[in-house]
Chains A and B, each alone.
Chain A
């Protein structure tokens, strides 16, 4: 997929501009705080209708303005994988601060539900902030899984929403000290929706763990790393939806006293995690606790590469790569290998940002250069 036109208005420090984007992509060079990341954030907003920096919509509206609007014209890949050879799609999103009104249109039409517009844009962001995926708590890794699966697996998002809804009700029943039966009335809904969520998470990790390891090895040079799913329910070898739901149900039965004491459900996908380890001196070490800055950055990059591969397989589109100052903090050897790997894996349109001209090394300097100053792009 290719982004051919972009319109931005009142988005963070981007006052308003219409840009025609080159097919191969572009390198955006600018000093700190000029709006490089904001531009990538605006583009990615069209995929998920949220900020990839987890900022609330109100915060995205330029200071002193009432609304922001982002619109993009995309050329989907055609049959046989011709990049940009397919249909033309226009995706637009606007948000008005007063009343917190969000409006999304696809080709000028408002979809029935916001969810129906999700994932029309196929892009992946590589950002220095991704390191938090590895170094911080499990919440960020669950959010990563949820975004990837919501965009690529039909039925995942409704199941996840249903699960969260039931979990909220069940926890409220536990908090209020309701009688046993009044709590267990929610179990069936919890187990059905949660079972689907866990099944899809497990399946995704199993599908991509091998690729993750090999990407990690390519970047690090030597070390292998392992990606593993740690479910918030003892699955005991269960793999299909029914088996997982049965294991979930059993786990609920076993934790009755504890959840009553704590006033919250203690087993389930809300306790899931992704475990990332490297083997050093014959021992598996958790990157979250023992990883160096470079190792964590490498693991985060490998996760994003796997995200791109998921899009390729599930949506049959070559993702647009949004690389935000991606070489920051990597040693020269790793930087070289990251670039080599990106050249090989990511052949689609690339929008990359860098603070200095010399940091733009992708595609043998063939990418056009744009400068950005004070929220205005100079093409």
Chain B
């Protein structure tokens, strides 16, 4: 296999990139100055070497602790639980949340052999118990899928006995969307979860 094919094959393993796009990317890299490709390869190398899960919350991190956990200005009494580390970024970009995170690394899915022990759950329970009542609220931000819901129910079951209140992200109409194009079950959820104006 030629070097060009080898690089294309590696690239085509990335999400959203098929064989044709992969080849296009390779040809593009070869047309650009050599430094561009070297810079990219170095960045990828560093990513692989230096990014690891935060020891406390499981978020992407360059050091022992991620930037959120290391920030003493954050509100340590609230922990938001998400399925995947990239979801931390989605919430961070809102700029509306000042608490900490905990990344489960997935959701319950017995059909795929994933039970509570396969998730980063014990870490969360340890954080709560070792805080001596410091953690007052757990926000469950698992996805609104069948698996995300079951994971939320399980979380509530194991967290509540430890003391903190357990809340769930609200569900409903996406901001800026037309009611006409929202699917029926979302509208039904939004109706159930409506609030006083």
- List the interface of chain A (C-beta within 8 A of B): 154-155, 158, 162, 165-166, 168-170, 172-173, 175-176, 178-179, 181-182, 184-189
Cα separation A175 to B184 with both chains bound (whole Å): 33
The answer to whether B153 and A185 have CB atoms under 8 Å apart is yes
The answer to whether A181 and B110 have CB atoms under 8 Å apart is no
Choose among B115, B146, B151 the residue that contacts A178 (Cβ–Cβ < 8 A).
B115
The answer to whether A189 and B146 have CB atoms under 8 Å apart is yes
24 sampled A-B residue pairs with Cβ under 8 A: A155-B184, A155-B185, A162-B146, A168-B111, A169-B108, A169-B111, A169-B146, A169-B150, A172-B110, A176-B113, A178-B110, A178-B115, A181-B157, A181-B158, A182-B110, A182-B116, A184-B157, A185-B108, A185-B153, A185-B154, A186-B150, A188-B153, A189-B146, A189-B149
B155 to chain A: closest residue by CB = A185
Min Cβ gap B176→A in Å is 19
Which A residues are in CB contact (< 8 Å) with B188?
155
Which B residues are in CB contact (< 8 Å) with A176?
110, 113, 115
Which A residues are in CB contact (< 8 Å) with B185?
155, 158
Choose among B109, B116, B158, B184 the residue that contacts A169 (Cβ–Cβ < 8 A).
B109
The answer to whether B111 and A172 have CB atoms under 8 Å apart is yes
A183 to chain B: closest residue by CB = B110
> Which positions 161-187 of chain B face chain A at CB distance < 8 Å?
184-185
Q: A158-B184, A169-B111 are in contact. Are A181 and B154 (CB under 8 A)?
A: yes
Which B residues are in CB contact (< 8 Å) with A165?
146
The 8 closest A-B pairs by CB, nearest first: A172-B110, A185-B154, A173-B110, A185-B150, A185-B153, A172-B111, A186-B150, A165-B146
> Which positions 101-120 of chain B face chain A at CB distance < 8 Å?
108-111, 113, 115-116
A171 to chain B: closest residue by CB = B110
Cα separation A175 to B116 with both chains bound (whole Å): 15
A170 to chain B: closest residue by CB = B110
B109 to chain A: closest residue by CB = A169
The answer to whether B158 and A188 have CB atoms under 8 Å apart is no
B148 to chain A: closest residue by CB = A189
**B84 adjacent to chain A (CB < 8 Å):** no
Which A residues are in CB contact (< 8 Å) with B116?
178-179, 181-182
Which B residues are in CB contact (< 8 Å) with A158?
184-185
**B147 adjacent to chain A (CB < 8 Å):** yes
Cα separation A185 to B108 with both chains bound (whole Å): 9
Min Cβ gap A245→B in Å is 13
B183 to chain A: closest residue by CB = A158
Cα separation A189 to B146 with both chains bound (whole Å): 7
Which A residues are in CB contact (< 8 Å) with B150?
166, 169, 185-186, 188-189
Min Cβ gap A376→B in Å is 43
Q: A166-B146, A173-B115 are in contact. Are A182 and B184 (CB under 8 A)?
A: no
Which A residues are in CB contact (< 8 Å) with B147?
169
Min Cβ gap B102→A in Å is 18
Which A residues are in CB contact (< 8 Å) with B109?
169
Cα separation A188 to B151 with both chains bound (whole Å): 11
The answer to whether B146 and A182 have CB atoms under 8 Å apart is no
Cα separation A168 to B158 with both chains bound (whole Å): 23
Q: A158-B184, A182-B108 are in contact. Are A188 and B149 (CB under 8 A)?
A: yes
Min Cβ gap A113→B in Å is 9
Which A residues are in CB contact (< 8 Å) with B113?
176
Which A residues are in CB contact (< 8 Å) with B154?
181-182, 185
Known contacts A169-B108, A169-B147, A173-B108; 13 further A-B pairs (Cβ under 8 A): A158-B185, A162-B146, A165-B146, A169-B111, A176-B113, A178-B115, A178-B116, A181-B157, A182-B108, A187-B153, A188-B149, A188-B153, A189-B146
Cα separation A176 to B109 with both chains bound (whole Å): 12
Min Cβ gap B135→A in Å is 20
Min Cβ gap A212→B in Å is 29
Min Cβ gap A149→B in Å is 15
Cα separation A188 to B154 with both chains bound (whole Å): 11
Cα separation A145 to B158 with both chains bound (whole Å): 39
Cα separation A170 to B141 with both chains bound (whole Å): 22
B147 to chain A: closest residue by CB = A169
Min Cβ gap A299→B in Å is 34
